Structure 1
Amino acid sequence: MIDDRMSYFIDLPAEVGYSIQEIKEITGLNSDRIIDQLGMINEWLMKFSYQQIYWEQDKIYFSKQLADKWLEIQFGKKETEIYYSEHERQALLYLLTMISEEDLSVYHYQDFLQVSKNTILADIKKLRQELSKKRITLDYSRKDGFYLSGCEEQIRIQAHQMIAKTVLSVSGKWGLKKGLRKYSKTFEASVRSYFFKAIKSSELVIVPSRIEETIYFMAYILWRAKRYSFRLDYQTDIALKELNAFYGSQMFLAEFPEILDLENEQLYFTLIFMTITQGEIRDTALEFLLECASQIIHEMERLAAIEFKSYRKLLLDLFYHLVPAFFRINYHFSLSNVLIGEIKEQYGEMFTLTKKALHPLEILVDKSIPDEEIGFFTILFGGEIGNQRELNRVVRYKALVLCPSGISSSLIMQSELKELFPTIDFSLTTTVDQLESISESDYDVIFSSVSLNTHKKTYLVNPIMSQLEKNGLIRKVQEDLLIPGIVVPSIDEIIDTLLPYIELKKDVTKEKIYRILNRKMINKLKEKEDGKPMLSELLTTDMIQLTDEKLNWEEAITYAAQPLKQQRKITEPYIEAMIQKVKDYGAFIHIGKGIALPHARPEDGVKELGMSLLKVEEPVLLLDDPKHDITIFICLAAVDNEMHLKALASLTKILSNKENLEKLLAAKDQETIIQLLMEGESL
């Protein structure tokens, strides 16, 4: 793609010759990069039949047409090929109004979006309806044209939400660039350049996948900040000034002297920096989030009945992601996570447990956590649980996992790939942009979501693969790398093998057989993948007890565990271990109102996965503490860190539903309890 810094070049007078040295000074690019960029520009000019750049006596000349057609050159498309969706039109209409320095009319919107007057009027009506929910109005007067009214902070939050979605498409990005070019051909390039300069000087580590939307957001806010500003609250002011990002914000805004209220904007842009900045352990102002990360991990261990072995590594990984998430959630900066649907579908039980485990963050921000944010934390925990499998394996190959959209997406891929290829070391995860900084001796193969120009063996994969895609990838990797295992034949090979020995019925084609076999294979693979038992499959009638006996907490755990012992799913030492865990670590097994989940490690005496439930008539005080009165004890015998997660996810849903929880606590017989458990699975 054409470098944005080349736009400095086109902002100069046309038909004037410039030397390579002059272009270097103007753009900040080196000679090789400039020559490469000029070659790419000329290729598109030739393709579009526009006048090309030419050299004459060591000078480079271009026509005015190049500046006029710059977006077409950058995107390799003609503007007639750009079609905005309804959402994109309304977002761009809003953003144009937000930064307008002229009296906007319906005609201006028509001219910019290249649509009819009726379309614009319909978009204005729908946009006004949406904005009214945010207490923002799109007003019009003959004197001032269209303009936005409302709380300035809310106007900016709305702009960020629109940009975050619009930047995901080519047409959306085109519109965002075009909106900025309406007032300056070089402004976006300047924002981009000063942004990276400030990041480098302040030694901040940024999340790659958030860069594009942030640069556009900054550019639009900077243009608006010439005429509008607002104050954050006093406590926020103090907190932000203590962050390392405040220095980066000061450096960045020093390049934009036209801002109306520099001091307030330095604080606001510190917020923007923090929404994309990886947590820094040395930043003492963020210690409260390190404590929150620790609480989240302990909550996940409690809810999922697991123990993370690499605690410090997980704590740092979680902290790095928690810092920008905290600032996004707390200050209403939206997060686009296009994979959230797949995450919720393929990691449903982990998503449910993660949502519950994020309760410490929910308390901290005093807001519910958006699903998009929960999705990334889900992958983080899911990957860590996958890492803990005790695999007696010899690592034969080292693999590099790459994704252009950021570390979070790479982690998703890494988690998927570790499942498929336990004999490959997937310890290296990074972004495509950082590939050159990694020594080739550090890896043998690459798994990437985009094509790469490299001599290393590379496999193209989606961040979240379908079952059929996994099957095909397994086959390809096993064939190439001779990894031990059963190579699953492709559907084409199965059909080709069968055809010589069968006679097809009328109207039955090879393609039809392919579709049927393809569908059946996907269903079978899903059944195999989803082999974790449900809560109702573990808590059957013979595993549920009710008693009116008066018990102390140790007796209650022993009583609750008897069905597991009788069916030889656990041994006596496991019951003793469950009790000892409570003595050692406190009432951590109290997972919800009146519900306790006694458990210990698999090696303490688990023979087979199982759960048993005891409901007592009179609440039992765990550790004799009135704050921990328990009505239901659910003993868990886990064989590993994963097989029981679907059951616990269902239990978590029941605990999160006030009505179902009350019914469960009031249940008088086994049948009612089983019915409630089954209902909880469908929530």
Structure 2
Amino acid sequence: MNRQTSKLLNILLNSPGQYFHYEELAARFQVSTRSIRNYTQSILDFLEDLHMPSALTVSEGGIAFTGGAEESSLLLQAAVDNDFYLYRLSPEERSHIILLNLLISDDYCNIYDLSEKFNVSRTTILKDMEQVKAFLARYNCTFDPAMNRGYLLRLREQQRRDMIVRIIQTAMGAVFSLHREVNIYERFLYEEWSLETYFPFLRQLLLEMEHQYNLDVSDACFEELLLTLAIITVRMEKGFCIQESTLEEKTFQNLLVYELAENILKELEDRYRLSCSEAEVQYLASKLYYCRFYASAPIEDAQDVKLHMALTSFLMMVSSQLNIPIYEDAKIVNQLESHLRDIDKAHAEGVLLENDYTDQMIGEYPEYYQLICRHLSILENISGYSYTKDDIAVILIYLVVAVERHFKNDILPKVIVVCHTGIGTANFLAERLNTYFHIRIMAVTSNHRLADVMKNYDFDVIISTITLKEPEDLWIKVSPMLEDEDILRLQKLFMDIKRNKKKLGTPNQLRLPAPGIRTVLREENILLDVCCTDWKEVIQKAAEPLLAAGSIDTRYIDAMIRSYETNGAYFVYCPGVALAHAGPEDGVRFFGLSLIRLKKPVSFGHRQHDPVTWCICLAIQEKDEQIQEVLRLMNLLGNPEKRPELDAIACSGELLQYIMENE
């Protein structure tokens, strides 16, 4: 049984009683119906060997698993047994497992031993070894020259570990969706090194670190780190440690990953009596860094700036059409941004992402799917590749969660609690209310501050222990102890509020106005009718106000110029407008924004949006709401109806006022 067959078996086991047509499966696997029938026959042979022929119902049109839970469990266990795979492997699968075998071997492997282990002839092994050599050649790896003794890989320890992870990750067809489908490469490694014995402790160790440092890590990154930690532990137990430095500037600047790496390795030392070098700390720190196993994925380089701004812009566009401020949901934004980085990493490593819920999600939310597709180019222009349906389904899942959470929260009654006898009594009442009702306490205040609180908070009702001067439909008086009569009255009131909100169908919120462009753009940072001869001078002139204010140092200007020379005019984001920026590590001291208008347009070499008349210069250290103001400015400058008016304004103060009125 090859990988495709095992995947079919897993689909059947995960959907007991569900009938699958051959044509449907052929489309899903992108093969012919004849191939699906061949896969089915292999499964039937397998079931016959296990004396379970009745567990699969087969007809002319399709198949279904009709066995019980016990049979399903036995099949899954049997399907990942090494012997079962070793005599049914495809040539590609066998060559990968042979390579894994060589990577985990610390001695020579000869042809005879390999043919015995994999139940094939020596001629077959020799053919497989040609595939192994071709794979190794792509990574500039070779065998020990003493070929008469067999095969022994000549690799640095770091390279060996990384190749083991890469083979398992790449061959499984997804970024570490471990246990979602049978992964024979993973299973082979588990059996050879008895990795299952390490996992309970290592999993608990990672969970404790995640909790201790208040991290929010994706399943994919968590599983990748779990496997990496297991490999590190086994190799060090065998006496193979990394000796050479693996220091990277990005990792070095993130002190948290070093602290995490040191703490994790200290636990491994105590548990397994190991001795860890500084190079091992650096290696694990780099893995923690690239798996984003640290707090809230901060902005660390220019690519992070581009992704964060692109995602915020994308969510603002989607939000405007849904009339829901999804971009304000910080948890969803951070999680989606982290997931997009996982997708970037997978594409960079040539890993094909698969999403089990793609068809189901698109089928259930076609309008949201189309909405994402309409604005997807914002993200694709930054990533440099086209998103697949599986990639889009990931974004769709986050969008659905954000929308549903918004409406769920919005339908809850929003309450201000007031008490004149003291804040302590008001807080006591708030706790009592939360005990009895599912509501949102927006504020707890005293009577003399109520007027200001009402201006600043969106609310449905005020619950007070005293009589108020406000209109009677805005408040209700209760006892601080919440008597039975109070509870009944409040229960009816909250039900009415929820019912009315459901009828409206869309949020009825009293939002505070946005902070405004004045919070991020100062009048002295606007320069009009600047003379420049080329793109380099435009960047330099746009950066001058930030340099003068101390927001950046000269390294930042050099970094922006290098970015243009390396990546081209990607930051000319719309006709006539450029957004010059680099990474926080390139000399940013604090947030800064400037805007210049050129006296004569300058060519940046962009095939669609040249020449440039306006240039924004942005310096940013971390993610915050200021980005939204920058995006509003970008959108205003990109509005063809507003540009003639913007081009005609004579002074900086007037321009800032115009931007404030139109943002």
TM range (shorter): 0.3 to 0.5
Using structure 2 for the length normalisation, give the TM-score.
0.40
Using structure 1 for the length normalisation, give the TM-score.
0.39
